[in-house]
Amino acid sequence: MAEDRMERPLVAITVHKVPNKEFCGVVVLRQESDGSWTGQCSKCGEAFQVEEDPKFKARILALRN
């Protein structure tokens, strides 16, 4: 069962905060095959991309376990 969990795509959830304003919406980031993360804001639809980042991935894995 642990192997099944590790083979599923990683997902990270964060918020889209507009500078000097309140939060806009929720962003669900999915890890792509190249190691980058992509998603979009649930409210405004703005696209988000995070390049491959070992520290970001380590934080996601720590929260997952």
Residue labelled with tokens 């929720």 = 26
Residue labelled with tokens 């376990």 = 65
**Rg of the chain taking only CA atoms, in angstroms:** 13
> Both tokens of residue 19?
């500078």
Band of residue 65 on the pLDDT scale cut at 50, 70, 90:
low
Q: pTM here? A: 0.69
Residue range 6-59, pLDDT digits in tens: 567 788 888 999 888 889 999 999 999 998 999 999 999 999 998 988 888 888
Distance between CA 31 and CA 10 in Å, rounded? 6
The whole-number pLDDT of residue 1 equals 46
The H helix count followed by the E strand count for the chain is 2, 4
Distance between CA 8 and CA 41 in Å, rounded? 22
